[in-house]
Structure formats: structure tokens, C-alpha cells
């Protein structure tokens, strides 16, 4: 066996030592890189989980706000049909928004921003409802007070008119009390274009005054014309466009409408329509009925 040269053996061992050292160095570097990659991956996963948790918290907060708004809408009510219809529509929008956010992932930022905008819009709409309801309530209170004042004034006018009528009848003595035709049951009603009785001014197209001429055997039989004077809440006499007038106690008086009936001493029911009125306002309408010999009575009608 050939013996290895000592110098060559030393050189070979030196080469092997360097090769082993280089492999160890590469191994250490690979381990360090692997550890760095693992650390980076851990940081990324932590940041992702943190962001997801934050987005989930934001979604829960937004959901709570929408549910709270839904409760506010449910508790909001009014006495006005038009606003109630709008409220029903808005409640449906809120309910749909609640369902959409519940079924949307928290990580869908675009949808979440959209829901936030819709929430803001619905809040603004709700504030508008509150302002409308408050304004209408204030107006309703004012109209109620005005109606009460109008009723008091009408009652005072009625009392004064009755006093004046009694004085005039007593002084003039034009007709003996026993022969004067009298009436009862004077009533004023409002009708819609469907010929139904209504009490809302916006639905009224005509008025109807009804009364009965009572039985009176002492009264002179023959044609009798009954006149009605109807005044709006502002005290203006309504005019059906026919220019009806009559003579009462020596004075020419304008009437709203009239009708002639054949009176034979027996009770007669009659109706007088008030047509051709452009519009009707809210408030109290007063109606007085007359013949040329006597004032038959008065009544009132309240339109909302």
C-alpha cells in the first residue's frame, strides 16, 4: 500500500475542514432565513387577525346604530295619514338595511361605507319627519283654538241675531205668530264627488242644507221659497253664482242658494244644494235659513 505524502494529507484535511465549515455556515444562514420568514409570517397573520377583529368591531357598532334607528322609527308616530305612509316606507328601508348588514362580511369595506351613508340618510329623513310632525301639531293646536274662538263668536252672533230677530218681529208685527211658517232640524253637511258625507275640506265638492217646514194649519198654503245663507270660517258669504237675493224685513238680502216647495200646511222636508264653490277651507261654516217672512234657524259645520 502506497503511503500518503504527509504534506498532501495536511492539505487534504485542510480542504475537508474548509468544506465542512462552509456547509455549516450555509446551514446557519438557512436556519436564520427560515426563522426570519416565520417571524414575518407571524407578524402578517397577527396584523390580519387584528384588522379583521377591528373591522368586526366596526360592523357590530354600525349594526347597533342601525338597530337603534329602527327602534326610533318604530316609536315614531303621527296623526296624519300622508306622514304615516312615508314612515312605513322608511321603516321598510331600515329593516332591509339591518338584514343586509347582518348578511355582509365585516371585511367588505365598500359595503360598510355604503351602509354608513344609508344610515346617515335615514337619520336625516327621520329628523325631517320629527320637524313635520311638530309643525303640524302646532298648526293643529292653533286651528283648534281658532275653531273654539269661532264657535264662541258664532254663538254670540247667534244670540245677538236671535235677540234682534225677536225685537224686530215684536216691533213690526208683520205676521201673526200663529201663521208664520216655522222649521226644524236644520242641518248642513259636506259631500265628496262620490256623493259621500265627509268632514275634510280637501274632499268637499258641495254642501247640502236640509230642514223640515213644520205643520201649521194657520199658515197660508201655496208656494214657499226657502233661502240659505252660508258663511265660510272667515265670515264671507258663499255664492253659488246665481245671484240669489230675497227681501227680509224691508231689506234686500243676498242668499247663497234657495229652493221653492209647495206648502199645504203639512210638514215638508226639503234639501238645498250649495254648488259651484271653488274651494273649501278648514274651520266652522255657519248656515242660516229664511223665508221672506221669518228666520227659520241656524246651524254649523266643522271642516278639518
Highest mean pLDDT among 7-11, 83-87, 148-152, 278-282: 278-282
pLDDT band at 284, cuts 50/70/90? Answer: very high
DSSP codes of every residue in 45-98: HHHHHHHHHHHHHHHHHHHHHHHHHHHHHHH---S-HHHHHHHHHHHHHHHHHH
SS3 content of the chain, % helix, strand, coil (to 5): 50, 25, 25
How far does CA 261 lie from the centroid of its chain? 46
Return the CA Rg of the chain.
46
What residues pair up with 241 in beta bridges, in sequence order? none
Q: Which CATH number fits domain 174-303: 1.10.3210.10, 2.60.40.3880, 2.40.128.630, 2.60.40.10?
A: 2.60.40.3880
Classify residue 289 as exposed, middle or buried by CB count within 10 Å of its CB (0-12, 13-18, 19+): buried
pLDDT at residue 174, rounded to an integer: 46
| Pairing, β 206-213 against β 268-274 | antiparallel
* Cβ within 8 Å of residue 75, ≥6 positions away: none
Cell of 115: 351602509
- Residues 115, 97 contacting (CB under 8 angstroms): yes
Please give the backbone phi and psi of residue 206, each rounded to the nearest 5 degrees, phi first.
Answer: -155, 160
Dump pLDDT digits (tens) for 95-149: 888 888 777 876 777 877 888 888 788 888 878 888 888 878 788 888 888 888 8
- Residues 58, 108 contacting (CB under 8 angstroms): no
What is the SS3 assignment for 295?
A: strand
Tell me the domain boundaries of the chain: 13-135, 174-303
**Which of 244-279 are b and which e, b meaning 16 or more Cβ less than 10 Å from the residue's Cβ?**
bebebbeeebebbbbeeeebeeeebebebebeebee
What does pTM read for this prediction?
0.43
pLDDT at residue 89, rounded to an integer: 80
Dump pLDDT digits (tens) for 202-216: 999 999 999 999 999
Amino acid at each position: 500500500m502506497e503511503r500518503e505524502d504527509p504534506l498532501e494529507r495536511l492539505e487534504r484535511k485542510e480542504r475537508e475542514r474548509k468544506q465542512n465549515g462552509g456547509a455549516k455556515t450555509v446551514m446557519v444562514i438557512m436556519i436564520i432565513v427560515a426563522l426570519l420568514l416565520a417571524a414575518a409570517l407571524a407578524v402578517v397573520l397577527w396584523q390580519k387577525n387584528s384588522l379583521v377583529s377591528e373591522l368586526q368591531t366596526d360592523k357590530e357598532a354600525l349594526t347597533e346604530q342601525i338597530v337603534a334607528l329602527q327602534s326610533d322609527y318604530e316609536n315614531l308616530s303621527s296623526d296624519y295619514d300622508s306622514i304615516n305612509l312615508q314612515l312605513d316606507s322608511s321603516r321598510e328601508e331600515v329593516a332591509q338595511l339591518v338584514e343586509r348588514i347582518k348578511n355582509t362580511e365585516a371585511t367588505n369595506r365598500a359595503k360598510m361605507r355604503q351602509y354608513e351613508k344609508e344610515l346617515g340618510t335615514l337619520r336625516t329623513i327621520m329628523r325631517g319627519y320629527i320637524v313635520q310632525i311638530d309643525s303640524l301639531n302646532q298648526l293643529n293646536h292653533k286651528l283648534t283654538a281658532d275653531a273654539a274662538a269661532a264657535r264662541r263668536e258664532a254663538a254670540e252672533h247667534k244670540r245677538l241675531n236671535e235677540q234682534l230677530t225677536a225685537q224686530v218681529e215684536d216691533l213690526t208685527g208683520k205676521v201673526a205668530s200663529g201663521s208664520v211658517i216655522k222649521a226644524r232640524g236644520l242641518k248642513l253637511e259636506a259631500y265628496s264627488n262620490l256623493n259621500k258625507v265627509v268632514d275634510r275640506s280637501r274632499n268637499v265638492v258641495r254642501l247640502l242644507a236640509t230642514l223640515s217646514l213644520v205643520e201649521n194649519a194657520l199658515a197660508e198654503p201655496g208656494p214657499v221659497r226657502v233661502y240659505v245663507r252660508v258663511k265660510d270660517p272667515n265670515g264671507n258669504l258663499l255664492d253659488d253664482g246665481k245671484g240669489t237675493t230675497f227681501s227680509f224685513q224691508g231689506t234686500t238680502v243676498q242668499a247663497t242658494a234657495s229652493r221653492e216647495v209647495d206648502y199645504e200646511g203639512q210638514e215638508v222636508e226639503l234639501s238645498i244644494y250649495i254648488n259651484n264653490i271653488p274651494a273649501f277651507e278648514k274651520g266652522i261654516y255657519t248656515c242660516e235659513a229664511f223665508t221672506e217672512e221669518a228666520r227659520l234657524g241656524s246651524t254649523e259645520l266643522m271642516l278639518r
